[in-house]
Amino acid sequence: MTPIHRCRLAFQTRAFPPCPAPRPCKGEPRSANQRLGAGPRTESAPKWALSGPPALRGRRCSESRSHPEGRRGVAGRRRRRRHGAARRGLEPRRTHREPPGAGGEKPAGRGQGRRGAQAAAQGLLGAEVRAGRREPCALSLAQRGGRYGVVIRSQERDNSELDFIPINSRFKCVQEAEETLLIDIATNTGCKIRIQGDKTAERLFEIPDEEHCLGFLSEVQSIQEAQLKDSLPEHKDSASWHQMEKNLPGLLQASSPGALGFEDDFNALSLEKKRNMQNHQAGSRRDPPPPPVPPSRQFHREREGTSRDQPKVTNTMRKMFLPSTQSGQREGLIKHVLAKREKEYVNLENFRFFVGTWNVNGQSPDSGLEPWLACDTEPPDFYCIGFQELDLSTEAFFYFDSAKEQEWLVAVERSLHPQAKYKKVQMVRLVGMMLLVFARKDQLSNIREVMSESVGTGIIGKMGNKGGVAVRFVFHNTTFCIVNSHLAAHVEDFERRNQDYKDICARMSFVTPDGTLPQHNIMKHDVVIWLGDLNYRLCIPDANEVKSLISKNELQKLLTYDQLNIQRIHKKAFADFIEGEIKFIPTYKYDSKTDRWDSSGKCRVPAWCDRILWRGGNINQLHYRSHMDLKTSDHKPVSALFHIGVKVVDEQRYRKVFEDIVRMMDRMENDFLPSLELSRREFHFENVKFRQLQKQKFQITNNGQVPCHFSFIPKLSDKQYCKPWLRAEPCDGYLEPNESVDISLDVYVSKDSVTLLNSGEDKIEDILVLHLDRGKDYFLTISGSYLPSCFGTSLEALCRMRQPIREVPVTKLIDLGEDSFLEKEKSVLQIGFLNSEDASEMPLQMPKEIWLLVDHLYKHACHQEDLFQTPGMQEELQQIIDCLDTSIPETIPGSNHSVAEALLIFLEALPEPVICYELYQRCLDCSHDSRLCRQVISQLPRCHRSVFRYLISFLRELLKYSEDNNVSATMIANLFTSLLLRPPPNLMAKQTQQDRQRAINFLYGFLLAGDEE
């Protein structure tokens, strides 16, 4: 009897008695006040801001920082801060000692008192804020070549060179104004200082010791005053407009006379105005990325200025502003206004874009592609060419290299229009989908910010047999996104195609590895062109009827039955896209190498599977056609030719608008502070479930008199602004006065967050900080209840549950989570349970959930075509998850494909894979020897060993019907290796292709071996 039959018999004859009474709690939790300490509240902070919900345990929020001095100490510090500010700016020190002798680099300690000298000589400990991250560092004063300067020593980068910023007339070092901390709490806020040198961008530092910081600033001020007495301020020469354009942050400072035709005398300003102007000199805040991958944000509060464009504004002005991680809010506001007024300085120029798509059915090119790519007399400026089913081999299916890629790339390059010279801009491939972008060589200098991305929508949302690849770029000042997709097949699966489209839109985002550019999704581009084998069919089952209508040229009648047109009308997919009029016959399906319709036994109904759509303005389609001369594949290639109006900047007009905006900014500055009104501040999400999205919306309104920039920012101890299961959309943006925007708060528990929620280590509790530049922070309370799931729970814990997980008390779940490690250790050491344990408390051999899923597939799906290769339906997957969490069902709901994907999701969500992390390397090392492989499996904990053998027995059974289900041992080994034999998290990024192949060989050996006892 094989293991699969033994396990089936065991589960069929075993009853599941009620769960024993829950254990008592191990300790009463302390109250929130005990955890965080009580303190006075203000109107700006909600009740929990100081007493704190669990979401704030161990966190330092901007409004809650403890300090032993209490209220009296804060008052004293504020008096000292005012006196220090007076010393630094309003009443310059008149006593001045000569610095030590010149030469070398010597510590500087001046007569500001013992603390100031100590800070200057020994170094001021703190952290530098870089793109939202804090890097520990030390600041000190030193002498180099007879000149004083600030020395910055990083404590993270070993053996790094010291940064030396000379103190001269253009050196600026200011403390951020205390008015930015609008919440008045008895806490020690420390100091934030900004330092900028002659040739150094502004840098932000956070110093926890306020007294040392004030002494350091006083010493710097003394040195600078002494140097100012000896020489007049130095001014930069006016540069050409071209040079100024490439150094925008310098222009925005407006600190040198005559830079833009007006003067700012920095030294004549009051201390407060100096601070305000300095706070404007930080760099531009980048566009926010789409959730669920929020970016790290700069966590400092500015005194003045706002940031950049609202979501409605395009990225037209990116060319005018070079990337800078330290640019400021003043620059951001200028960008925002420039983008709003772009019509005043841009001209539209038309360029020709050739767009083509072809499903090549795994074939190699057997003829020239000129009838497709060079069919027009005038050469295009751009080629955007997409292929599908480039390679149908198993190796390509699992992300290996494909020789077909180079074959088709060479064929395309040879067939481009002969009257122009082209260069490849970008190429991206995912399995059989490949996208090529070529541009004329004379246009390459106008192309920038080129990025590519891919999204697989195959089984468990990973496999790349279906999905999309995309390239985005900026041409002149218009942003483009080209998407090539291959959506789900089969006539009846139009809902899967709709889901594939939505998944690609939701998951496709473009990010540079170094994070120097903002993150973009598909729809945040001026022009989007979507091409590919979209696989939408005709809702007419009779192929002969369709062929008859085609022969009569009644194409418009046929198009009324086209699934894509129907789904667009009902706004289920591609609702915002436009498609040109179709005047060519269907491009699918033909007998390969011929123009005959499909004559195989399946006799596919002809359909327009291959399509090209677009969205955006200033787009005119000149041609939309198929190319019947190419007969390599069972599809015909399709092409479209566009005239696209591209925004090109007129430099003189741009300069005029730019100077006008800068003057307007000078008049507006310091007159108004921004303000927001929120419709809600508390949100409760009831009965949150695994993989089930919940949304709540609220509205924010700019009730101030100036444009404002809002953003969700991390709390001090966090890297992200929210927990992994939460996101806000949009997470930042711009609002004009009296303008409103709806913000959606989305709660979605994925495999990455489900384990902590199941175990009770995390809860649906969080606090979001909505930051308003130049204004105060607003706090949003997120709370809710979570329903535990067997998905994401350890095998050991599930084996000790004889009831569905929803019927197990929460305290018992916590105990099971704590006991699972001990249970695993017992099993590995082959230690039996104590004799006193009741037989009813003996753990199951394997989780009942795995047995139910596998048993269903064994009974109903062995002959299912394309099993484990076709995604399930999302609605059915949710039904299956709920069913397993709430009951022990007789039958599993949903289709075989949905049950199969549910099994894969279950294995993927396990916190510890079936083959434990500690045995991963041993599995790789012994993958060449089947005897050693069996020995490793015998050392697994009991429930892991049982699950592995049960799954292998089922998969062997499945392979016996490979002619029906199209399942192969290679495909199964590739798919299940990533689930059963995962590398430990610390080795995931280091896994080589050789390691992956050895892991596949390990599992492949078990699939081909005979049944074991």
d(CA 804, CA 380): 63
Q: Is the pLDDT of residue 75 over 90?
A: no
Q: pLDDT-based confidence at 57, cuts 50/70/90?
A: very low
What is the structure's pLDDT at 200?
79
| 712-763 pLDDT, tens digit each | 999 888 889 999 999 999 888 888 889 999 999 999 999 999 999 998 899 9
Q: Which residues contact 230 (CB under 8 A, 6 or more apart)?
A: none
Beta strands per DSSP E along 805-851? none
Q: Is the model more confident about 985 or about 272?
A: 985
Place of tokens 């345990």: 57
Q: Which of 228-237, 386-395, 893-902 shows the highest mean pLDDT?
A: 893-902
What is the structure's pLDDT at 667?
72
Does an H or E element contain 128, and which?
strand 124-130
Q: Is the model more confident about 159 or about 28?
A: 159
Region 187-201: mean pLDDT is 74
Q: Is the model more confident about 766 or about 78?
A: 766
Average pLDDT, the chain: 76
Q: pLDDT-based confidence at 836, cuts 50/70/90?
A: very low
Long-range contact list for 13-19, CB < 8 A, 24+ apart?
14/844, 16/802, 16/803, 16/848, 16/888, 17/802, 17/840, 18/802, 18/803, 19/801, 19/802, 19/803, 19/807, 19/808, 19/809, 19/812
Residue 494: closest CA among 392, 574, 409, 551: 574
Region 186-196: mean pLDDT is 68
Q: pLDDT-based confidence at 296, cuts 50/70/90?
A: very low
What is the structure's pLDDT at 228?
66
Q: Is the model more confident about 809 or about 341?
A: 341
Q: Is the pLDDT of residue 125 over 80?
A: yes
Helix (H, G, I), strand (E, B) or coil at 735: strand
Cβ contact 914:799 at 8 Å = no
Report the share of the chain in percent with pLDDT over 70: 70
d(CA 946, CA 153): 56
Phi, psi of 340 (to 5 degrees): -65, -25
Pure H helices in 172-209: none
Cβ contact 906:794 at 8 Å = no
| 934-959 pLDDT, tens digit each | 999 999 999 999 999 999 999 999 99
What is the structure's pLDDT at 66?
37
d(CA 36, CA 291): 31
What is the structure's pLDDT at 321?
33
Region 895-920: mean pLDDT is 94
Q: Which residues contact 73 (CB under 8 A, 6 or more apart)?
A: 67, 186, 188
| 306-334 pLDDT, tens digit each | 333 333 333 333 333 333 333 456 777 78
What is the structure's pLDDT at 299?
33
Two structure tokens written together for 641:
């030719």
Beta bridge partners of residue 729, listed in sequence order: 744
Q: Is the pLDDT of residue 1012 over 60?
A: no
d(CA 553, CA 618): 32
Distances (CA, A) of 733 to 283, 309, 392, 606, 820: 16, 7, 44, 47, 46
Model-level pTM greater than 0.85?
no
What is the structure's pLDDT at 251?
34
Phi, psi of 171 (to 5 degrees): -75, 140
d(CA 346, CA 651): 9
* Amino acid letter for position 61: C
d(CA 134, CA 437): 39
| 249-268 pLDDT, tens digit each | 333 333 333 333 333 333 33
Q: Is the pLDDT of residue 97 over 70?
A: no
| 565-615 pLDDT, tens digit each | 999 999 999 999 999 999 999 999 999 889 999 988 888 999 999 999 999
Helix (H, G, I), strand (E, B) or coil at 17: coil
Region 349-368: mean pLDDT is 94
Region 518-535: mean pLDDT is 92
What is the structure's pLDDT at 409?
95
Report the share of the chain in percent with pLDDT over 90: 45
Residues written for the chain:
1013
What is the structure's pLDDT at 959?
93
d(CA 345, CA 653): 5
Region 86-112: mean pLDDT is 40
Q: pLDDT-based confidence at 72, cuts 50/70/90?
A: very low
| 446-472 pLDDT, tens digit each | 999 999 999 988 776 666 678 999 999
What is the structure's pLDDT at 874?
86
| 2-28 pLDDT, tens digit each | 545 555 444 444 444 343 343 443 444
| 854-869 pLDDT, tens digit each | 999 999 999 998 899 8
What is the structure's pLDDT at 841?
67
Q: DSSP assignment of 516-585, as one string?
A: -S--EETTSSSEEEEEEE----BS---HHHHHHHHHTT-HHHHHTTBHHHHHHHTTSSSTT-B-PPP-S-
Cβ contact 126:141 at 8 Å = no
Two structure tokens written together for 157:
């980068």
Beta bridge partners of residue 726, listed in sequence order: 747
What is the structure's pLDDT at 159?
58
Lowest mean pLDDT of 668-677, 860-869, 904-913, name the range. Answer: 668-677
What is the structure's pLDDT at 515?
63
